[in-house]
Structure 1
Amino acid sequence: MLIVADENIPLLDAFFEDIGEIRQVSGRGMTSEDVRDADILLVRSVTTVNRTLLEGSRVKFVGTATIGTDHVDLDYLAGAGITFGCAPGCNANSVVEYILSVLSLFAERSGRNNWTTLSVGIIGAGNVGGALWRTLDKLGFDVKVCDPPRAQDDEDSGTQFVSLDEALTCDVISLHTPLTRKGDYPTFHMMGAERLSKLTSEQLLINSSRGEVIDETALLACLAEPDAPLVALDVWENEPAVNPETLRQTWLASPHVAGYSLEGKVKGTEVIYRSLCRFLGLPARKQSGQFLPEPALSKLAFTSSAQAPDAASIAIRACYDPRRDDVRLRRLLTLDAPERSTGFDALRRDYPVRREFSSVKIQLKGTSRALQDSFKALGFKLKL
């Protein structure tokens, strides 16, 4: 059995070597010739999986180690009798931690001693948006959530959703929608000129969902205005060909790595491994935890002098500071267009190991209950 897989899926050999021969190829450059003699195809979001790629191949199972599925033609797979597996929620916690770090930086930039005084509008309450909602609620943020499909489905549950216009009045707007072009609530260019014009210089817009959710042409026009909002972009409309002017005007930029914690990536591999085992009728004997190495940072200690907001920011940024990704991405501005695209993919392929908050034990000596609760809500392990 031949397994063709995106070379950037971690631990391919560890999870799949007992199942079949593994051939690793570039996900971005994957062609129909690469998969023609494959039985199993494993991809990430950079590979478009459709009739063009698969027709004439032996592929009977496609797995994507990602939350999103907009890169996969699900109707074609169903019609061709090809079983599909994805990894919903696999890196949701990683993206939440990216957002939390961005929030801490924005609060500091805004001169707020207490970051929970920020109001946060979450657009999309799926795996990532829902996890962010729960975390911010535990931390005491004022959160407004917009998700029209969920609001329609859950209208009897008592969950309070708001309109998009109301969510756009928050200090921070964080986008967590899938990319859709049809239906009652399409998200393609959802943030166009009209909606972007409503934002002010006191606000921050974060996009870690799909680049095409924001109309980048309209965004550039918006950012040229004197009262323009700050923007933090992890995803871009024409990846990997990032518009250099958009990059220059973005406050905080990263190369589609919000979900790139080691835990998130390995969990994605584990989920599609389990899906493949079910498809083949094999026992799933491997778990991601058995392959995670000891973290480089394993412990932080705070004394009774520590204040909750400052201590939380220190711990968050010790684990992950998105400004490092920003510096790496901006180095591409010195390159010409083809090299920028290659460089963008290289930043993702060679991304340094990033561990989640749960890998760090926080030692607290004589600290307040509020600080303890804050670290628990963030997902750190505590030693009192």
Structure 2
Amino acid sequence: MSSQRLTVVVTRRLPEPVERRLAELFDVELRENDVPMTRAELIQAVKKADVLVPTLNDRIDAGLLAQAGDQLKLIANYGAGVDHIDVHTARQHGILVSNTPGVSADDTADMTMALILGVTRRLPEGLAIMQSGEWDGWSPTQLLGGRVAGRRLGILGLGRIGQAVARRAAAFGMQIHYHNRHRLRPEIEAALDAHYWESLDQMVARMDVISVNCPHTPSTFHLMNARRLKLMKPDAVIVNTSRGEVIDENALTRMLRAGEIAGAGLDVYEHGADINPRLRELPNVVALPHMASATVEGRIEMGEKVLLNIKTFDDGHRPPDQVVPGML
């Protein structure tokens, strides 16, 4: 065990129980306000920290890592995705990287189903009418949506979250289909009653709902590009609770505006908070502010994983959730 307490710098406000426990265990520098660090602040952080605790808003690239002090030995990311961290360069500098996998699968799957229902049942339009005060009573033909039971759901990425989505969708009577880089074991397919498509193009062309649940990697950037989006049926919808970069957002916007895709439910965006205003204003889009994993329980569990990774590292062992380049 270390003879002195680690210096830990946290880049954003975390749930109070997590911050309190960090302060008990380490010499921690907490964020006073809940805004992302500037580049200059990140540079100062990596120069003095033994452990940096960043979030997805922090760009930990080669340029930043080149300015890190020799004492920085662990980047304990608060979140599962690490596409904002140059893991390869960190490894070259002798810096370990850890994340918090598996915590938000159920929360994200819940929100995926909420988006599917929100788009197919036209919830935003109903809310807008009620908030405007213009609703004058029930009508047999008002805001007619579609029933989800019996629809084909194509899951792009049947990992932890994708499988949680499949279980929920099956309870709603949806048919489960999926595409992965590698087919799952037969017993997993059988448990989920999931049909595997080796060809993503063929799956996309036949689904009523597409759910994007794969991580953002160089191979998945714009996986749903303009050509592939055009394969979707005109009455199909697409939801994304994974990473915005997987979908070509401009192409999606054009097709939604033209009625070539029936609707979209989005919790993530290609350029972060810089959302295409034409996409934001569409009535057939349910747009949420990256809140799929935003539960009190989930955020605390993420913090507990960060604590465990740092404490295990401090005790001289490999962090249980270490990320290595070969995993990406």
Which stretch of the first structure deviates more once superposed, 53-62 or 167-176? 53-62
Using the TM superposition, give the Cα deviation of residue 137 of structure 1 relative to its aligned residue in structure 2, in angstroms: 3.4
1:23 is the counterpart of 2:59 = no
Which stretch of the first structure deviates more once superposed, 47-56 or 96-105? 47-56
1:41 is the counterpart of 2:52 = yes
TM-score (norm 1): 0.66
Q: Alignment partner for residue 65 of structure 1, among 59, 78, 94?
A: 78
Give the unaligned 5+ runs of structure 1: 284-384
Cα deviation, 1:180-237, whole Å, max 9, x if unaligned, reads: 11xxxx1111111111112244211101111111112212221232333201111111
Using the TM superposition, give the Cα deviation of residue 282 of structure 1 relative to its aligned residue in structure 2, in angstroms: 8.6
Would you say the 8 A contact 1:48–1:72 is kept in 2? yes
Q: Alignment partner for residue 257 of structure 2, among 205, 213, 224?
A: 224
What is the rounded CA distance, in whole Å, between the counterparts of 1:69 and 1:243 in structure 2?
24
**Secondary structure at 1:17 match in 2:** helix
Letter in 2 for 1:5: V
Aligned twin of 1:174? 211
- Is the alpha carbon distance of 1:34 and 1:14 closer, same or farther for their aligned partners in structure 2, counting shifts above 3 Å? same
Aligned twin of 1:326? none
Letter in 2 for 1:212: E
Q: Alignment partner for residue 315 of structure 2, among 269, 272, 281?
A: 281
What is the rounded CA distance, in whole Å, between the counterparts of 2:272 and 2:188 in structure 1?
39
Alignment of 1:101-180 (within 5 A): 101-109=114-122, 111-112=145-146, 115-148=148-181, 150-151=182-183, 154=184, 159=189, 160-162=195-197, 163-168=199-204, 169-180=206-217
- Select the structure with the greater relative contact order (CA < 8 A; seq sep ≥ 6): 2
Using the TM superposition, give the Cα deviation of residue 107 of structure 1 relative to its aligned residue in structure 2, in angstroms: 4.4
Give the RMSD, CA atoms, in angstroms. Answer: 2.3
What is the rounded CA distance, in whole Å, between the counterparts of 1:253 and 1:62 in structure 2?
31
Which stretch of the first structure deviates more once superposed, 240-249 or 203-212? 240-249
Would you say the 8 A contact 1:107–1:118 is kept in 2? no
Sequence identity percentage: 25
Would you say the 8 A contact 2:100–2:306 is kept in 1? yes
Q: Alignment partner for residue 9 of structure 2, among 4, 7, 23?
A: 4
Letter in 1 for 2:196: F
Letter in 2 for 1:101: A
What is the rounded CA distance, in whole Å, between the counterparts of 1:107 and 1:248 in structure 2?
17
Q: Alignment partner for residue 243 of structure 2, among 186, 203, 210?
A: 210
Aligned twin of 2:231? 198
- Count, aligned residues: 275
- Is the alpha carbon distance of 1:261 and 1:144 closer, same or farther for their aligned partners in structure 2, counting shifts above 3 Å? same
Cα deviation, 1:313-369, whole Å, max 9, x if unaligned, reads: xxxxxxxxxxxxxxxxxxxxxxxxxxxxxxxxxxxxxxxxxxxxxxxxxxxxxxxxx
What is the rounded CA distance, in whole Å, between the counterparts of 1:201 and 1:156 in structure 2?
32
- Is the alpha carbon distance of 1:107 and 1:247 closer, same or farther for their aligned partners in structure 2, counting shifts above 3 Å? closer
Letter in 2 for 1:2: T
- Is the alpha carbon distance of 1:98 and 1:155 closer, same or farther for their aligned partners in structure 2, counting shifts above 3 Å? closer
Aligned twin of 2:137? none
